[in-house]
Amino acid sequence: MTTPLNERRIANAIRVLAMDAVQKANSGHPGAPMGMADIADVVWREFMNHNPTNPNWANRDRFVLSNGHGSMLQYALLHLTGYDLSIEDLKAFRQLHSKTPGHPELGYAPGIETTTGPLGQGIANAVGFALAEKTLAAQFNKDDLQVVDHFTYCFLGDGCLMEGISHEVCSLAGTLGLGKLIAYYDDNGISIDGEVEGWFSDDTEQRFLAYGWQVLKVDGHDSEALRAATLAAKAETAKPTIIICKTVIGLGSPNKQGKEDSHGAPLGHDEIVLTRAALGWTDEAFVIPEDVYAAWDAKDKGAKTEAAWNETFAAYAAKYPTEAAELKRRMSGDLPADFVAKADAYIAEVNAKAETIATRKASQNALQALVPLLPEVLGGSADLAGSNLTLWKGAQGVQDNAAGNYVHYGVREFGMTAIANGVALHGGFIPYVATFLMFMEYARNAVRMSALMKQRVIHVYTHDSIGLGEDGPTHQPIEQIASLRGTPNLNTWRPCDTVEAAISWKSALTRSEGPTALIFSRQNLAFQTRTQTQIENAAKGGYVLAEEKGELKAIIIATGSEVALAMEAYAQLEGVRVVSMPCAEEFMKQDAAYREAVLPSNIRARVAVEAAHVDYWWKFVGLDGRVIGMSTYGESAPAKDLFQHFGITTEAVVAAVKEITA
C-alpha cells in the first residue's frame, strides 16, 4: 500500500532536518534517519507513550536508537514532538557543548534514555529496559491496577546485528520472553564499506525465530504495513518482536539513496537542492511548516496520557500505600533511611567474627546480610554463580518467577553487563553482575559505558590474580585491575579480608554517582585486626593498617591478598607502616590533609605490593620506590608455588624495604 502524501510529508520533516544538520556540521550520518523516517513517524506519532514536558515520567515507553550514528533521527523526533530541544540545538549538531552530540548521549538532551555509541549496546540496553519493566511489573502490579506497564522500542541496523553482543542479548531476551520489547531492524543492505551482502548474509528471520522471537517483515516505507506490524508486536506478550523493515538508505536523495555515499557523510549542497525537489519540500534549511509541527506535537497527548496514569497511580496508592511508597522510593534511586546504619552494624559484626575466608565468600556473606534490606537489588552471574558466590539464600531466578531478584545470564559476559546498564537506566533496580576478573575483558566496553553514563551498576569479579592457581595464564588476570582503575567514574575495590569486603559492598550500594568494581579472591585471606577508626578510614579507600614502630622510615602499600604479605614483612621491620589501599579512586577523593597523613610526602621510601601489573603503582611509590607484582603472564600451578615463582613474597617485601632504606 502506498503511503499517503500528507503522511510522507510529515515524515519528510525528519529527512530534511537530518540532511541539513549533517550538512551544517560537515559531519554525520544522514542515510539512516532518511531511511527510517517512515518507521519513526508511525512509532512516535501513533504508538509511543511519552510526555515531552516530563521526559522522566516513570511509566513512559522507552526508546533506544541502537544505530546511534543516526542520531539526527532521534534529535529530530525530540524536537518535532515538543521536547526542550530547539531548532538552534539542531543547528549546533556535533558542536562543542551542544545538546546534540554525534551519538545520543545520556544527560545532554531530554528524552535520551541511554548513550548508544558502540553498535549493539543499544539493543542490549533495550533488553535491560524490557527486563526491568517485566520484573518491576511482576513485583508491584496488582490484578486490578497496573502501574508498571510500558513498552521498549528499539531501532537497530546491520551493524548492531553483526556485533556479537546482539546474539548474546537477543538470545536471552527470547529465553526470558520479554514480550514488551519491540525492535525495528533497518534492513537497508548498506554499511560504511558498501553493500553488506559480501560480509553479512545471515538469514535474520530464521536467526530470530531460533531465539524465540516473533518475526515480522514489512516494507519500511509503507505506513499501513508498519502500523499493522506494530499492533501485532504489541499483541504478542510472550515473545519479543523484531520487525524487519526493508528500507532505502538516504531515501529522497536522487543520486545517493541506496548507496554507501549517504551513510556517513553530508549529501552536499547540490544534492540537498535536488533532494528537496524530489521530496517536494520547498522550505529552506531548518524551517518546518507550522502544519507539520502541529502534526508532530505530542505535548498535549503526552500530558493526558501521563495524567491518566497519575489517576491510576493515585488509586493504587490509596489501596496499596506501602507498595506505592516503595515503588516511588525505588524509582527515585533513594535507599531506605535505615540502610547505612544497618550496613554499619553488619560491618561491626563481621569485624567481631574475625574470620579467615576467601573474599568471594565474604562477598556472599555481605549479600546475604545486605540484599534483604534492598529489594531493588537484581543480581546475576555469567554461568559462574557457584564460583563467584553471587547466589544468596533469598535469591530467586527471574526465569522461574518474573518477580524474582536474580538473572542467570549464561555465558554472556558482554551481554550481561550491557543489559545491566539498561536495568540501571530504567530505574527501580540496583543491578550487580559477576564473572571471573579475567573475563571482564569480554565485557570491557560495557563496563566503560556504565562508567561513562555514571550508572549504579556493581561489577563483581572473583578469581582476582595468580592466586586462582592451576587454571593457568588464560584465567589469571594481570593487567585487568589497572584497566579498571584507569576508567573514569569507576570505583575499583580489592579488599584484603572480610571487613574490607563488607565495606566495599556498602560503598557500592550507596554510591549513586557511578559504577563500582568489586574484586575478590578465590583463596582464603587472613583477617586483619582493626580499631573502629581504622574501619571508618577503610571506607576512604586507603588507610594506615599498621602504625610504624619508632620513627617512620618507609611505607608498604598493599591491596587484597598481598596485605597479608605486607603485614608479615611489617613484623620483621622497624620504622615501617602498612597502608591498605582497597580503593585508590576513593582514596584520591579524600582531602589533601588526610592523604598526607596516610602517605606523608617526605617519606620517599615506599614499596607497593600487588599480584597484578606493576605499572599502576609507580604514581604512589615514585621512581625511587619499588613495586612488587606482575610484569608477565602467569603459569599453571598451585597458588603457593606461583607466588614463590613470581617473587611476590614476604621475603621480597622485606628485601625491597631494606634496599630503599639502606
- Residue 522 marked ligand-binding: yes
- Indicate the class that CATH gives domain 338-525: alpha beta
- Predicted confidence at residue 205, as pLDDT, reads 98
- Predicted confidence at residue 156, as pLDDT, reads 98
- Residue 291 marked ligand-binding: no
- What is the rounded average pLDDT of the residues 626-639? 98
Instruction: Kindly report, residue by residue over 482-506, the tens digit of the pLDDT.
Output: 999 999 999 999 999 999 999 999 9
pLDDT at 628 over 90: yes
pLDDT band at 643 (very low <50, low <70, confident <90, very high): very high
Instruction: Kindly report, residue by residue over 574-594, the tens digit of the pLDDT.
Output: 999 999 999 999 999 999 999
pLDDT band at 535 (very low <50, low <70, confident <90, very high): very high
- Residue 29 marked ligand-binding: yes
Closest to 312 (Cα-Cα) out of 139, 58, 44: 58
- What is the rounded average pLDDT of the residues 516-528? 98
Instruction: Kindly report, residue by residue over 366-410, the tens digit of the pLDDT.
Output: 999 999 999 999 999 999 999 999 999 999 999 999 999 999 999
- What is the rounded average pLDDT of the residues 602-611? 98
Instruction: Kindly report, residue by residue over 180-233, the tens digit of the pLDDT.
Output: 999 999 999 999 999 999 999 999 999 999 999 999 999 999 999 999 999 999
Angle at 623 between CA 622 and CA 625, to 5 degrees: 70
What residues does 204 pair with on adjacent strands? none
Query: Among the residues of 259-320, which ranges form H helices?
Result: 269-279, 290-296, 299-319
- Residue 560 marked ligand-binding: no
pLDDT at 33 over 80: yes
- What is the rounded average pLDDT of the residues 457-473? 97
Instruction: Kindly report, residue by residue over 95-126, the tens digit of the pLDDT.
Output: 999 999 999 999 999 999 999 999 999 999 99
Backbone angles phi, psi at 324, to 5 degrees: -65, -45
- What is the rounded average pLDDT of the residues 315-331? 98
Q: HSE (CB half, 13 Å, CA atoms) of 166?
A: 23
- Residue 119 marked ligand-binding: yes
- Predicted confidence at residue 5, as pLDDT, reads 59
Contact (CB, 8 A) for 453 and 512: no
Is 413 assigned a catalytic role? yes
- Predicted confidence at residue 621, as pLDDT, reads 98
- Residue 530 marked ligand-binding: no
- What is the rounded average pLDDT of the residues 329-333? 98
- What is the rounded average pLDDT of the residues 539-547? 98
pLDDT at 2 over 60: no
pLDDT at 77 over 50: yes
Query: Among the residues of 526-637, which ranges form H helices?
Result: 532-538, 562-570, 584-588, 592-598, 618-621
pLDDT band at 1 (very low <50, low <70, confident <90, very high): very low
Q: From CA 33, how far away is CA 118, in angstroms rounded?
A: 18
- Predicted confidence at residue 4, as pLDDT, reads 58
Q: From CA 339, how far away is CA 350, in angstroms rounded?
A: 16
Query: By percentage, how much of the chain surpasses pLDDT 90?
Result: 99
- Residue 488 marked ligand-binding: no
Query: By percentage, how much of the chain surpasses pLDDT 70?
Result: 99
Q: Domain spanning 5-303 has what CATH number?
A: 3.40.50.970
Q: What is the mean pLDDT of the chain?
A: 97
Contact (CB, 8 A) for 149 and 61: no
From the candidates 105, 413, 562, 610, give the one annotated as an active-site residue. 413
- Residue 188 marked ligand-binding: yes
Given this chain, do its domains 338-525 and 539-661 carry the same CATH topology?
yes
Domain boundaries, given as residue ranges, for the chain: 5-303, 338-525, 539-661
539-661, CATH topology level: Rossmann fold (3.40.50)
pLDDT at 419 over 90: yes
